[in-house]
Structure 1
Amino acid sequence: MSLDQTATKPFDRLGALLAPEMAAVNALIRERMASEHAPRIPEVTAHLVEAGGKRLRPMLTLAAARMLGYTGDHHIRLAATVEFIHTATLLHDDVVDESRQRRGRPTANLLWDNKSSVLVGDYLFARSFQLMVETGSLRVLDILANASATIAEGEVLQLSAAQDLRTDESIYLKVIRGKTAALFSAATEVGGVIAGAPEDQVKALFTYGDALGIAFQIVDDLLDYGGASEVIGKNVGDDFRERKLTLPVIRAVTRADAEERAFWSRVIERGDQREGDLEHALELMRRHGTLESTRDTALSWADRAKGALSALPAHEIRDILTDLADYVVARVY
């Protein structure tokens, strides 16, 4: 889920505007990932936190708070909280997925071991809750705790749904809400809450983050069947080889005849993959137009994100967030 190599104009504009706050967030992250008694914690955390990610999620928290006139410093804590939750989930995901590479570098579980990755992820979750409590807002705690539960629930759901051809689009949506959108929506929503924004604006921020996150993940899943490796941060076809039922495949299975369904059952459910299977899968998706329809779905979610912003006050950041929604889906044009 990398945006590192795509056109970065809106993101760079947002980054420049929020540079002082992001510097404070980064300083707080470095401070709180320290451990007096377990030096492996900062070693493992630094490997991932400092790997060059765009920090999109914490930046969304800062952007929402700034746009709605917040002048305190709790948004710094919340942005660091969001990044810690994100980093913890990445550490756990790489263990579950047996990943060997993230952001072009070896994963922590490969460099150290699975136990270290899981336990350091647990530590970061604990740190995130310490940070959110410091804001003194029970509602913020509720939002981020619910997001953390949704993330874990989505990952467990994906375990049972990933290689089951009965998985439909509603289940897929629940999975990607947990996998990606839950933290996007929580990141934007808490920015509004800490700023004391009216309820309609807080709801709009939630809707924006939710739709943006869904568009983001659908695009990522689509690019697995047609993006360049340097753009998507992984090898083309990785999802196919890992037998993941993402939206283009789900739609191809839905439209499959008996022979095609037998193919999908062999490669996804049984994991019997042979030379040329990826190419045949791509041909079936093109035959049924599922790559194009998935692209259209991603664009519609981006439009939904942009539409939610109309409830927010006119502001330079609102304009950038509009551009950001276009930027997220720009990779599929």
Structure 2
Amino acid sequence: MAVATGLKQEQVVAAAASDNALERLHALLTEDLRQVNALIISRMESPVPLIPQLAGYLIASGGKRLRPLLTLAAARLFGYQGDAHLLIATAVEFIHTATLLHDDVVDESDLRRGRESANSVWGNQASVLVGDFLFSRSFELMVETHSLEVLRILSRASAVIAEGEVLQLITSNDTATVEADYLRVIEGKTAELFAAACEVGAVIAGCDKQACAAMRDYGMALGMAFQIVDDVLDYSAVQAQLGKTVGDDFRAGKITMPILIAIAKGNEEERAFWNRTLERQEQEEGDLDHAIALLRQHDALDGAMDRAREWGERAIAALEHAPESVLKQALADVIAFCIERDY
């Protein structure tokens, strides 16, 4: 078995023993991730007690740490032996957390990962300001890497994420939205950070432009698949079994891939239903159940999953020329995990 440079044999053994792709990636990067978690705790410290309290509440609430893991994996995949990847992975997690804090305020969300959202506990003002704090901390971490390219990639990603969120505001509640608009939204608000997280790992490892571009392509495709699956899960009965709310996107009037497919296949009466419930936000008891029934009738959930798998195939193709190692296999396995997950 090929072993990626910098990995201990016991980490490889632990990864092989896991039947979960994300757990395998965790096992391969145990020490790196331990150091990133320590950096997260130390860098969100502040003499203003509410800042670490609120930030820590969200960071410790069960997130997958997928984006920083991708940075760590990309760097190690190409044999990186320094510690700047730890700073970058922490910055990536802070950017992600800041966007979640801001998103929950914009979406008026009461729940995040099955718990009360930070804004429902501390209020919108505190959530926005702590999000700003984490963005600022992320830029401090980038500067410490002494890499202008890392700073360029992640600062651009921060801007693109904001553009994606604004574009989503424009397309929400608009049943005339087309698939191209939806893809632009999720490319900005979700996939861009996946892409940047992978690209900066390769950059800090000193890879050539072709390898850096390939890792960016991998992250972009993985992020697109990840968000499409998220949009499918919002209508999944599995969510209810896991104690999570179903239909948040429907209640908010978000136009996602399953909705786009159902609208395209629906008749005039069905389009009138979508216009009333999503565009005019005139929702009644039983509307969510009817929406889910329409999605199933038109195979919209399965159709959206097919789109996610197409993006997964693109992610696999992007890894083709990466060096053979257990990390390369783990990154390939994570694609399937992100698509077939039920949470």
TM-score range relative to shorter protein = over 0.9
In the other structure, the counterpart of 1:57 is 67
Counterparts of residues 68-83 of structure 1 (less than 5 Å) = 68-83=78-93
| Kept in 1: contact 2:233–2:239 (CA 8 A) | no
Flag structure 2 segments of 5+ consecutive residues without an equivalent: 1-17
**Which has the higher mean CA deviation after the structures are superposed, 226-235 or 188-197?**
226-235
Equivalent position to 2:267, from 257, 260, 277 = 257
Matches of 1:276 and 1:100 in 2, distance apart? 21
Q: Hey, which bits of structure 1, 4+ residues long, moved more than 4 A?
A: 230-233
Shift of 1:227: 3.8
Flag structure 1 segments of 5+ consecutive residues without an equivalent: 1-6
Between the aligned residues of both structures, percent identity stands at 55
In the other structure, the counterpart of 1:16 is 27
| Kept in 2: contact 1:88–1:122 (CA 8 A) | yes
TM-score using structure 1 length: 0.94
Matches of 1:277 and 1:93 in 2, distance apart? 25
Equivalent position to 1:206, from 216, 223, 226 = 216
Equivalenced residues, count = 325
Shift of 1:287: 2.9
CA-atom RMSD in angstroms: 1.5
Matches of 1:214 and 1:318 in 2, distance apart? 20
| Kept in 2: contact 1:74–1:135 (CA 8 A) | yes
Shift of 1:231: 7.0
Equivalent position to 2:340, from 321, 330, 333 = 330
| Kept in 1: contact 2:240–2:246 (CA 8 A) | no
Query: Could you say what secondary structure the match of 1:311 adopts?
Result: coil
| Kept in 2: contact 1:87–1:121 (CA 8 A) | yes
- 1:162-181 deviation per Cα after TM superposition (whole angstroms, max 9, x unaligned): 10111111111111112211
Is it true that 1:27 corresponds to 2:27 in the alignment?
Answer: no
Matches of 1:183 and 1:78 in 2, distance apart? 12
In the other structure, the counterpart of 2:184 is 174
Matches of 2:214 and 2:324 in 1, distance apart? 14
Matches of 2:142 and 2:242 in 1, distance apart? 32
Shift of 1:234: 3.3
Is it true that 1:96 corresponds to 2:123 in the alignment?
Answer: no
Equivalent position to 1:149, from 159, 163, 177 = 159
- 1:25-59 deviation per Cα after TM superposition (whole angstroms, max 9, x unaligned): 111111110112x1111111110111121211101
Shift of 1:281: 1.7
Shift of 1:232: 7.0
Distance 1:91 1:236, change over 3 A: same
| Kept in 2: contact 1:103–1:233 (CA 8 A) | no
TM-score using structure 2 length: 0.91
- 1:120-171 deviation per Cα after TM superposition (whole angstroms, max 9, x unaligned): 0000000000100111111111110111011100111111101011111111
Equivalent position to 2:312, from 283, 299, 302 = 302
In the other structure, the counterpart of 2:7 is none
Is it true that 1:45 corresponds to 2:55 in the alignment?
Answer: yes
Matches of 1:230 and 1:193 in 2, distance apart? 41
Matches of 2:248 and 2:216 in 1, distance apart? 31
Query: Could you say what secondary structure the match of 2:165 adopts?
Result: helix
